[in-house]
Structure 1
Amino acid sequence: MAFTPLLRYAVARHAVPPGTARRTGCAACGTPISLSRPWPALGPRARCGGCAARVGAPPATVELAIAAAVVVLLLARPPAGELVAAAWWLAFAVPLIFVDFAVHRLPDRLTLPAAAGTWLLLGLAALAGAGATPWLRATAAALGLALFFATTTLLLGARGFGIGDAKLALGAGALLGWYGWTLPLLGLLLALTLSGLVALGLLVTRRAAWSSHLPFGPYLVLGTLGALLLVW
C-alpha cells in the first residue's frame, strides 16, 4: 500500500518508552528517520539504510495488517460514511497496535486524532442522511466507554487500564455506538475475552507471570472490528 511507509513512520517514531522523546533516527547508527526521502526502514524490510539494524515494526507486519483491514472493509461493505469513518480510525489503530505491543503505551498524537476524526466523519454521515440519532448515540457511547477505562485507572492504578486505552476507546466507542447501545458492550466483551485467553495461554506456557501487565490496545481494536463485522 502506498501509505504504509507513513504508518511505519508513526510506529518507528512513537514506539519509545513513556517519558522519552519521539525517535528521530536509528538507535544503532543515528541515520535519520524521514518521509522526505526514501528510507529503507519505512519499507517492508524495516532495516536501517545505514547499518541494516531493524527499526520499528517487524518486517512486513504493518503491510499485512493494513491489507487485512482493507480486505475486511471491502468484504463488509458498510455504507460510505461509516466506511470512511472506520478507515480513518483503522489508519491510526494499526500503528497503535504495534506501539502498544512494543512499549505498552498509546500516544496522544495517535489516539486523539483517531477519535476526533472518527467523530467528525460520523457527524458528516449524520448530515448526509443518517440523522442525528445515531451520531448522538455514538457520542454518548464514546464518552461512556472512555469513562469506563479511565475509572479503572483512577480506582486501580497500575492494575487497571491505562489512560491511553480510554483515549483509544473514544474512537472505538463512537464506531460501535453508531449501531446501537449493545454493540459497545459486545466489543468490550470480545476485547476482554481475547486478552484473557492470550493471558491464560501465556501463563500455561510459562511465558508470563501473574504479575505481568499485557497491553490492551490491540485487543480493543480486534474486539471493535469483531463487533462491527456482526452489523456490517
Structure 2
Amino acid sequence: MTISVLLLFLIFALPISWIDFRTYRIPDKLIFPCLLAIFILLLTVEIGTLPNRVIAAFLSFFFFLITRSITKGLGLGDVKFAFLIGLCCGLPWACIAFLGAALSGILAILFLRRGGKEAFRRPIPFAPFLTLGVIETYILSLFFHL
C-alpha cells in the first residue's frame, strides 16, 4: 500500500470509524465514494496491483459475509468496509490488517470490559479497529516486503 492510498483511505475511514463508534452504523454514503476514489486512484497510479487488490477485496467481502452469517456479530457495513480494506491493501496485507484489527479489538475489549458480565452485553463498533489494523499494516509494510 502506498502513502497516497493510505491517505485517501483515511480521509474516509476516520469519519466512518467515528460514526460507527457513535451510532454502530457504517454509512454507505461514505463507503461507496471511498471505493470509487480508491479504484480511480489505483487505475491511474497503481494499475499493476489492481488484480491482486480486487481479489483481496472480494475474498475479504466473502470472509466477512460468512463470518456475519455465522456469528451475527458483524453488520453489513463491516462487510462492505472489509471489501474496501481488501481493495486498499491487497493480499497478503489485507489479512494482516484484519489480524491487527482483531487483536486490537480483543485488547480493547479486555481493557474496557473489566466491569463484569454486564459489560459484555453491549456491542463494540468494529470499524475503528479495522481502521487501526490498516494503519498498523501500513507501518509493517514499511519494514517488511511481502
Query: Normalising to structure 1: TM-score of the pair?
Result: 0.57
Shift of 1:187: 0.6
Give the RMSD, CA atoms, in angstroms.
1.9
Stretches (4+) displaced over 6 A? none
Q: Does 1:148 align with 2:63?
A: yes
1:175 maps to 2:88: yes
Aligned counterpart in structure 2 of residue 219 of structure 1, from 129, 132, 138: 129
Cα distance in 2 for residues equivalent to 1:219 and 1:163:
16
Measured in 2, the distance between the counterparts of 1:116 and 1:145 equals 17
**Structure 2 residue 92 is matched with structure 1 residue 185:** no
Question: Aligned runs of 1:122-161 on 2, under 5 Å?
Answer: 122-127=42-47, 131=48, 134-157=49-72, 160-161=73-74
1:146–1:170 Cα contact (<8 Å) kept: yes
Give ranges in structure 2 of 5+ residues lacking alignment.
Answer: none
Structure-1 separation of matches of 2:98 and 2:118: 23
1:85 Cα offset (Å): 2.5
* CA shift digits 1:117-176 (9 cap, x unpaired): 11221121234xxx2xx210011101111221122222333xx21110111112211121
**Could you say which residue in structure 1 is the equivalent of 2:4?**
84
Q: If each structure's helix is expressed as a fraction of its own residues, which one has the higher value?
A: 2
Q: Matched residue pairs, number?
A: 142
User: Partner of 1:13 in structure 2?
Assistant: none
Q: Is the 8 A contact 1:138 1:174 kept in 2?
A: yes
Question: Partner letter of residue 171 of structure 1?
Answer: L
